[in-house]
Amino acid sequence: MADAVTSRESDYSQWYIDVVRKAKLADYSPVRGCMVIRPNGYALWERMKETLDGLFKATGHENFYFPLFIPERFLAREAEHVEGFAKECAVVTHSRLTLNEEDELIPDPESKLEENLIVRPTSETIIWNTYADWIQSYRDLPLLYNQWANVVRWEMRTRLFLRTMEFLWQEGHTAHASKEEAVEEAERMLDVYATFAEDYMAIPVVRGRKTASERFAGAVDTLCIEALMQDGKALQAGTSHFLGQNFAKAFDCTYTDENNEEQYVWATSWGVSTRLIGALIMTHSDDQGLVLPPKLARDQVVIVPIYFNDEQRTQVLEEAQRIQQELDDADIRVKLDADDNQKPGWKFNEYELQGVPLRIGIGPRDIENDNVELARRDTREKNIVPQDGLVARIQDTLTDIQDGLFQQALERREAHTTTVDSYDAFKDVIENEGGFVKAHWDGTEATEARIQDETGATIRCIPFDRDDEPGEDMLTGEHSEGRVLFAKAY
Amino acid sequence: MADAVTSRESDYSQWYIDVVRKAKLADYSPVRGCMVIRPNGYALWERMKETLDGLFKATGHENFYFPLFIPERFLAREAEHVEGFAKECAVVTHSRLTLNEEDELIPDPESKLEENLIVRPTSETIIWNTYADWIQSYRDLPLLYNQWANVVRWEMRTRLFLRTMEFLWQEGHTAHASKEEAVEEAERMLDVYATFAEDYMAIPVVRGRKTASERFAGAVDTLCIEALMQDGKALQAGTSHFLGQNFAKAFDCTYTDENNEEQYVWATSWGVSTRLIGALIMTHSDDQGLVLPPKLARDQVVIVPIYFNDEQRTQVLEEAQRIQQELDDADIRVKLDADDNQKPGWKFNEYELQGVPLRIGIGPRDIENDNVELARRDTREKNIVPQDGLVARIQDTLTDIQDGLFQQALERREAHTTTVDSYDAFKDVIENEGGFVKAHWDGTEATEARIQDETGATIRCIPFDRDDEPGEDMLTGEHSEGRVLFAKAY
């Protein structure tokens, strides 16, 4: 029997690590800050990727692939961008190893590169350098492209999925003839991310815009979706940037418009990463391990056969295979675990740990009575149900689980969203309750920085649906245009 | 009208580059040796990847993901492996850039790494280091895993797709309890590659084993599939390695067997890369541009509407959309190009360049007569055909194209495979005709090296189906167990 998962209440951080490792999603690697994404974790990423890719293609995007390496000088072209990324990047300086006199492998001094290469932390620079070649006329626009890639940011404090030195992501990079079109694209892609988060990951998100200090390095405007985790901390689940003409100007990317005048091209970029797997875990999982929304689970149903002798084995497996076939025919993703090396009890525990949404147990007595045992991972309810109508019941239950997970997360978020008017109340909530806090802010970076220094909370976003009235900053008393969303964040 | 492609006869190398660039498959990048895979090229890779991934999963494999970086010391653990890869690898030595006194970006001396990292050229070392943690008992075996990743080998002479510093590939890494099982796995995966090459890429391949000098660095046995390109040069299209216990010993990876004895684990690895796109181009394409086998074409059919006024436009587009819908309903991948900015003639040329297998032209007169014009990319035949029965005709034609491309390539290969008995005849064929040459070899590295030095030809493989008799080495007269396959190669 696998060791139990640490409870959330006793140690939330350890609980998270336990779930990741015991559900075999990921593991530490010998390279500090990098992780090994294990088959269970990668299968989840594959489904997320496939779903997102479908949404990108449905909105007119195609995939391409740009080099892993970015010449040092490219980074320097966009002032804010280099400021944002130069301090934490992997620098390639040599192209060969050799043995020194002590027989140790060292970079061969003779292979020192003329120009150092950076392992991409993001690809705006190298892509816009090429867009300058691809774009001549308004007829070449828009370019609606995306790439699935690995990127590296030299993080010191890492945590599996949530913050790793190397991570997998997608980065969309689009080029447009007008500001309006680019802004619209950035908004469209934020909507795609929100749809994916809510309809597939079952994670409710707040859509909004980052303050200037939290913007992507090189962006004019950064839109984001923010989610609330079970411990009351926020997690940024996706960003979509309106880049204005910053990169076009840095890489001299212009087009000839319909009046034959030369114009700089307008840009967006947008991305989500394997970090989302961390968000998924921290939204739905419990003290028994991982909980997966059916739409993203590799196996939606696992069948565990129960038998005590060979005769039963033959009979039970036959029945189990029949059910497997029926579910498979109905496009339900089903696994039959007929491994004789493990006992049913061990399997029950294992699939609970791995978050499989539904478990079917079937033994000799079930067959006698034309029943199966159906166990839900989310509510941990078990029911003896008739085999008759099983497929329809399972389809309904999967829908119910998907919806239920979203509802539960939404209710938790609502319960942990507080509106405050005073700084004392703000500090009290941030310190003791956590969650999202809606408060007035005067719009200055100075106030934002002071609040962060004093409380650890940051402005997660200026929500799009800020329906409340103007007011006064809780700290300075200065004019505020409306409440913004604060929280401590991952 | 796009510029024409250089003919194969006048300059084969330039023809290849022209096809790659004019079909918008890939482009040079500002990083020497790296390429930009453009949307047309990436769409092809996506279909190849999806197909291969399905074949891997059908043979019981799952995907995972290991870090991009490999600690320097890992490479040193397997002697042949370090020998093979240390001479051409990207070395990361710093984790930060800073400005020097001249305001230039330089690696920050204070960020120098304690241990340098290598950008993976292949992942055996880092994976086997972790397998040592994952494997304890025979019950943990086999591990049947694969990863889709980018790798970097510091190549000096690069060519789009065929040889690039960074390339995309998959690398399978399996662990087994017995030698027999590992050998069987290596053979199984070679079969998967051969099936993929022949049934999807329409490229006939010879299956065989590499000589010792051509083995993967660290392998006990390297199996390969070899294809013949239109210029008579061979291209290695996939390799599958039996690694023995080399990596298990280097990383101390053992398991307890059923008799409670500790044993080293047996290994395989196998991979194919974006290089296959180069093979695809050089097998089927012609002086008009790319030719794609229908199974891998993103668009199997393109519909080009033809009209001369608005009234015709409405009528023709309506009919074109109806046909598009019909094909789509029959799961044929179809694109309707209704772009008014380009003339039909330009489109005909463009889709020919891009290798779309079938083109439907439809204009007012076709509608009047219930016909369409159907043009095949492979044979460049055009026929006026009735709209009645169009879907079935297209399905049949796509099958015919797929089969025809394979047959054509097979016949070309047969016509360019020569059996020789003397070294003079060998040199003559290699120099003047090219192609595969079957000849006797005494099995020594010395002879192999001398033949390569003198003729530029290498032993591509010792074919599995070597049905001929023992004989005498064409150069030394020593005993030969049977003919092997020589060629000049990419």
Residue from the list A31, A39, A74 with its beta carbon closest to the beta carbon of B62: A39
This complex has an ipTM of 0.96
- With CA atoms as reference, the chain A residue closest to B75 would be A105
Residue from the list A29, A46, A72 with its beta carbon closest to the beta carbon of B63: A46
Mean pLDDT of the residues in chain B = 96
Tell me where in chain B the CATH 3.40.50.800 domain(s) lie. 301-400
> Hey, are the CB atoms on A68 and B150 less than 8 Å from each other?
yes
The CATH code of domain A12-284 reads 3.30.930.10
> Hey, are the CB atoms on A42 and B63 less than 8 Å from each other?
yes
Does A9 have pLDDT greater than 60? Answer: yes
Please report which confidence band the pLDDT of residue A395 belongs to, taking 50, 70 and 90 as the band edges. Answer: very high
Q: What is the mean pLDDT of residues A17-26?
A: 97
Residue from the list A42, A90, A145 with its beta carbon closest to the beta carbon of B65: A42
Q: What is the pLDDT of residues B295-311, one digit of tens each?
A: 999 999 999 999 999 99
In A43-140 the beta strands, taken as DSSP E runs, fall at 62-63, 69-71, 91-94, 97-99, 105-107, 112-119
Which chain B positions have a beta carbon within 8 Å of A95's beta carbon? 88-91, 154
Q: What is the mean pLDDT of residues A65-85?
A: 90
Cβ contacts from A onto B, under 8 A: 190
> Hey, are the CB atoms on A96 and B117 less than 8 Å from each other?
no
Which pLDDT score, from 0 to 100, does residue B280 have? 98
- With CA atoms as reference, the chain A residue closest to B117 would be A31
Residue from the list A68, A129, A168 with its beta carbon closest to the beta carbon of B65: A168
Q: What is the mean pLDDT of residues B163-191?
A: 98
Which pLDDT score, from 0 to 100, does residue A1 have? 42
From the list B181, B192, B242, the residue with the least C-alpha distance to B54 is B192
What is residue A312's three-state secondary structure? helix
Residue from the list B69, B111, B145 with its beta carbon closest to the beta carbon of A39: B145
Q: What percentage of chain A exceeds 90 in pLDDT?
A: 93
Q: What is the mean pLDDT of residues A347-372?
A: 97
Does B468 have pLDDT greater than 80? Answer: no
**Token duo for residue B36:** 């930009």
Which pLDDT score, from 0 to 100, does residue B215 have? 95
The CA distance from A413 to A349, in Å, is 29
Which pLDDT score, from 0 to 100, does residue B3 have? 67
The CA distance from A55 to A51, in Å, is 6
User: Of residues B1 and B17, which shows the higher confidence score?
Assistant: B17
Burial class (CB in 10 A: 0-12, 13-18, 19+), A334: buried
Mean pLDDT of the residues in chain A = 96
> Residues of A52-69 as b/e, b for ≥16 C-beta within 10 angstroms?
bbebbeeeebbbbbbbbb
Q: What is the mean pLDDT of residues B158-168?
A: 95
- Top-level CATH class of B301-400? alpha beta
Which chain B positions have a beta carbon within 8 Å of A30's beta carbon? 71, 74, 126, 129-130
Which chain B positions have a beta carbon within 8 Å of A90's beta carbon? 69, 92, 94-95, 117
- How near does any CA of chain B get to the CA of A163, in Å? 14
Q: Directed axis angle between helix A12-22 and helix A275-284, to 10°?
A: 110
Q: What is the mean pLDDT of residues B426-455?
A: 97
Tell me where in chain B the CATH 3.30.930.10 domain(s) lie. 12-284
> Hey, are the CB atoms on B68 and A119 less than 8 Å from each other?
yes
Which pLDDT score, from 0 to 100, does residue B157 have? 85
Tell me which CATH homologous superfamily contains domain A301-397: Anticodon-binding domain (3.40.50.800)
Parallel/antiparallel/unpaired status of strands B143-152 and B62-63? parallel
> Hey, are the CB atoms on A36 and B66 less than 8 Å from each other?
yes
Q: What is the mean pLDDT of residues A38-63?
A: 98
Does A230 have pLDDT greater than 80? Answer: yes
> Hey, are the CB atoms on B71 and A46 less than 8 Å from each other?
no
Q: What is the mean pLDDT of residues A138-160?
A: 95
Does A467 have pLDDT greater than 80? Answer: no
Does A97 have pLDDT greater than 90? Answer: yes
Which pLDDT score, from 0 to 100, does residue A468 have? 76
Residue from the list B39, B129, B149 with its beta carbon closest to the beta carbon of A62: B39
Which pLDDT score, from 0 to 100, does residue B1 have? 42
Chosen for mutation from B25, B28, B31, B114 (greatest number of chain A CBs closer than 10 Å) is B31
Tell me where in chain B the CATH 3.30.110.30 domain(s) lie. 417-487
Which chain A positions have a beta carbon within 8 Å of B37's beta carbon? 64-66
- How near does any CA of chain A get to the CA of B421, in Å? 43
The CA distance from B24 to B10, in Å, is 22
Residue B171 sits at φ, ψ, to 5 deg, of -130, 115
Does B281 have pLDDT greater than 90? Answer: yes
- With CA atoms as reference, the chain B residue closest to A71 would be B31
Which pLDDT score, from 0 to 100, does residue B469 have? 86
The CA distance from B374 to B378, in Å, is 12
Residue from the list A63, A74, A82 with its beta carbon closest to the beta carbon of B42: A63
Looking at A99-103, B2-6, B173-177, which range is the least confident one?
A: B2-6
Which pLDDT score, from 0 to 100, does residue A3 have? 67
Q: What percentage of chain B exceeds 90 in pLDDT?
A: 93
> Hey, are the CB atoms on B89 and A71 less than 8 Å from each other?
no
> Hey, are the CB atoms on A34 and B107 less than 8 Å from each other?
no
Residue from the list B39, B72, B139 with its beta carbon closest to the beta carbon of A64: B39
Q: Write the single-letter amino acid at B19.
A: V
Q: List B69's β-bridge partners, or say none.
A: B119
Do residues B237 and B276 make contact, with C-beta atoms less than 8 angstroms apart? yes
The contacts of residue A274 (CB under 8 Å, 6+ apart) are: A37, A45, A161, A164, A167, A168, A169
Q: Does domain A417-487 have CATH number 2.90.10.10?
A: no
Which pLDDT score, from 0 to 100, does residue B103 have? 85
Chosen for mutation from B21, B82, B93 (greatest number of chain A CBs closer than 10 Å) is B93
- How near does any CA of chain A get to the CA of B318, in Å? 22
